[in-house]
Structure 1
Amino acid sequence: MSNIVEHSVEIDAPVEKVFAYVDDFTHTKDWMYGLSRIEPVGEQLTGVGAQYDGTMQVGVPLKSRIECTAWERDRLIELTSVKGIRNTQRWSFTDLGGDRTRVEAWISYTLPGGPAGKAIASAVKPVVGIAVRHTSESLVRNIEAL
């Protein structure tokens, strides 16, 4: 069964700056809750086709390889798993004018079935709300401090 998390924040920074920060994988561990490892796979670091191996610590370690499946400068970044825990992350950016940007996150994830999946789900579920709140707050704080 898929789980979906949606959240949006507004940031006091121009859309170009916000997009560039989110698009740069070297910053991701600074703002994404629970991300303990992210490494590029190959030489492509951004845009459709770029791949990354990552591990999230959300009660239990969840490993996944994600690939950028949609990318539009200053508008959209979509990452979909190709290995490991099934997930899709869609980050949309809206220029609100006056150097303000809205970032909307849509995240879908599917945990494995059976007894192992139930154990993972019981460890992950209580952390999801904390993760979304922490990620949003960190993203806003880090970009506005640039």
Structure 2
Amino acid sequence: MSTIVEHSVEIDAPVPQVFDYVDDFGNTRDWLYGLERIEPVTEQLRGVGATYEGTMKVGVRLTSRLRCTAWEKDSFIEISSLDGIRNTQRWRFTRLDGDRTRVDAWISFDLPGGAAGRAAGAAVRPLIGVAVKHTSQRLVENLEARSA
């Protein structure tokens, strides 16, 4: 069964700056809640085909190989799992008045079935709200500090 999380945040920074920050895997540990490790497994680091191995700890430790499956400069990033915990992340970037940006995040994930999946789900689901709130706050803080 899929769990879907949707969230939007407004950032006082221009779209190109926000997009480049989110699109740079080297920044991800600075803002993505629970991310313990992310490493490229391809020479390509951005755009469709860029592939990473990552580990998150959100109640339990989750490992997955992820590939960028859709990418439009300053507009949209989609990342999908190739193995591990099935998940898809979609990030949309919209220019607002002045140099403000709205980031809309859509994240879907499936935990394994059986007793292990139920145990992981029980540990992870209560932390989703915390993770989304923390991730949003860090994105805003980090990007607004950079554009100040």
Aligned to 1:6: 6
Name the residue aligned to 1:128. Answer: 128
Residue aligning to 2:140: 140
Query: What letter corresponds to residue 25 of structure 2 in structure 1?
Result: F
1:38 is matched with 38
Unmatched 5+ residue regions in structure 1? none
1:74 matched to 2:77? The reply is: no
- 1:36-115 map, 5 Å: 36-115=36-115
How far 1:106 moved relative to its partner?
0.1
Superposition deviation, residue 93 in structure 1? 0.1
- Give 1:97 shift: 2.9
Cα distance in structure 1, aligned partners of 2:48 and 2:92? 15
2:27 aligned partner:
27
Structure 1 runs of 4+ aligned residues shifted over 6 Å read none
Give the deviation of 1:100 after TM superposition: 0.3
- Following the alignment from structure 1 to structure 2, what is the Cα–Cα distance between the partners of residues 50 and 31? 20
Structure 2 residue runs of 5 or longer lacking an equivalent are none
Percent of residue pairs identical: 68
Q: Deviations over 1:22-80 (max 9, x none)?
A: 00000000000000000001211000000000001001100000100000000000000
TM-score normalised by L of structure 1: 0.99
CA distance in 2, matches of 1:103, 1:125: 23
Residue type of the alignment partner of 1:69:
T
